[in-house]
Structure 1
Amino acid sequence: MSEETTVQHNEAWFTLTGDVNSDMVHRVFEAVAEMAADGLDTAHVLLQSNGGYVSDGLCLYNFLANSPVEFVMYNGGAVASIAVIVYLAGQRRYASETARFMVHKSHATASPGARPDALNIIVEGLRADDARTESILRKHIELAPEQWAIHQYSDLHLNAGDARVAGMIAAVGDFAPPKGARLRNI
């Protein structure tokens, strides 16, 4: 009689809130290092963020998308701006019925009295950031032409139903850790 081996599926539940910045990058790096050391297979993450810095968001996207841990992302309220890119790193994604997403082009404020050469540097940086984030958006979601047109010049807001149609989420669903599960904040 042969002995069968079963692979135990290890999963855990986390919350991640706040601005997308170097502090969040550090917290996520530390948390994922612990997840990997613990042999975690799947991390369910409730993300709540209004955005932050593009470079930090892109770093988190690349890090999470290539992590040995599978990330299941949830939006229970608001995921906006560069936080949408972080959210898209999840291999599976869900949003509560009342959740909202917002995407927009990059923006910056120039110093008063900025010279034209300094303004050109800012504009080129914004264009580069927009190209990087838009390539990730287009890889993961399919917006209607009217939605891309809004995104071109304004904030594009999506509710959970809109996000489902666009393929941003697999289904409308809540972050609901099972009874007895340990909930950790990253």
Structure 2
Amino acid sequence: MSEDQAKEKKEAWYTLSGDVNSDMVHRVFEAVSHMTDEGIDVAHVLVQSNGGYVSDGLCLYNFLSNAPVEFVMYNGGAVASIAVILYLSGTRRYASETARFMVHKSHATASPGARPDALNIIVEGLRADDARTESILRKHIELAPEQWAIHQYSDLHLTARDAKIAGMISEIGDFAPPKGAHLSNI
């Protein structure tokens, strides 16, 4: 084996779609287990998700950020809500020209007739979730003050070009597995 071949990293191509929930967490755990068994060095992952549960997204972010595989993330359509946090675990990130991102504060629905102490617990949980997700956002992206202001009270939508300016993506580019590459759905 030549020195160049020894340095060549083993790459694989995946798609990950759906709600960010315990099922997705389980699927990702299983997929990364297979990746490590197969000696995958770099996993290219196309993410398509409108979000889901904050704790599951944070778990995936922490797990993928520290896995023994380098993750390259792609947005070919929509990555929204807590799925943005999952997406930010990639060491390199790309988005198609027509892709969109959306970030917002946490929200919940209280049971009808909920007592003030129960509402307080919900509010404190939402504040804790917002603090956790915002720290990750601020670690990876730089939004303009007016964008942070929108994020404070509403949904903030970003085009691929906006995401590039904010540092959310490395480049505008499509998920394009090479001819003959095996594509696996997580």
Bucket of the pairwise TM-score, normalised by the shorter protein? over 0.9
The answer as to 2:80 corresponding to 1:84 is: no
Distance 2:177 2:125 in 1: 40
Give, in whole Å, the separation in 2 of the partners of 1:132 and 1:32.
Answer: 24
Distance in 2 between residues matched to 1:54 and 1:185, nearest whole Å: 22
Letter in 2 for 1:61: Y
The reply on whether 1:138 has 2:138 as its aligned counterpart is yes
Partner SS, residue 85 of structure 1: helix
Amino acid at match of 1:161: R
**Change in 2 beyond 3 A, CA 1:56/1:4:** closer
Q: State the alpha-carbon separation in 1 of the partners of residues 48 and 42 from structure 2.
A: 19
Q: What is the TM-score normalised by the length of structure 1?
A: 0.97
- Cα 1:4/1:90, change in 2 over 3 Å: closer
Which residue identity does 2:85 align to in structure 1?
I
State the shift of 1:8 in Å: 3.0
TM-score by length of 2: 0.97
The 2-side partners of 1:80 and 1:98 are apart by 14
Letter in 1 for 2:140: H
1:110-130: per-residue Cα shift (whole Å, max 9, x none)? Answer: 000000000000000000000
Inter-partner Cα distance in structure 1 for 2:143 and 2:39? 37
In structure 2, the residue matched to 1:46 is: 46
Q: CA deviation at 1:16?
A: 0.1
**Which residue pairs with 2:30 in the alignment?**
30
> How far has the Cα of 1:9 moved from its partner?
1.2
Counterpart of 1:166 in structure 2 is 166
Give CA deviations for 1:48-77 in whole Å, capped at 9, x if unaligned: 000000000000000000011000000000
Look up the match of 1:113: 113
Distance apart, 1:152 and its partner CA: 0.0
Q: Which amino acid aligns with 2:166?
A: A
> What is the Cα deviation at residue 4 of structure 1?
4.5
Which residues of structure 1 form unaligned runs of 5+? Answer: none
Alignment partner of 1:21 is 2:11: no
Pairwise CA distance, 1:134: 0.0
Q: Could you say which residue in structure 2 is the equivalent of 1:69?
A: 69
Q: Which amino acid in structure 2 is aligned with residue 123 of structure 1?
A: V
Shift of 1:149: 0.0
2:102 is the counterpart of 1:102? yes
2: CA distance, partners of 1:4 / 1:178: 23
Q: CA RMSD in A?
A: 0.9
SS of equivalent to 2:134: helix
The one-character-per-residue Cα deviations of 1:112-163 (angstroms, maximum 9, x if unpaired) are 0000000000000000000000000000000000000000000000000000
Distance (Å, rounded) in 2 between the aligned partners of 1:120 and 1:4? 61
| Structure 2 residue ranges without an equivalent (≥5) | none
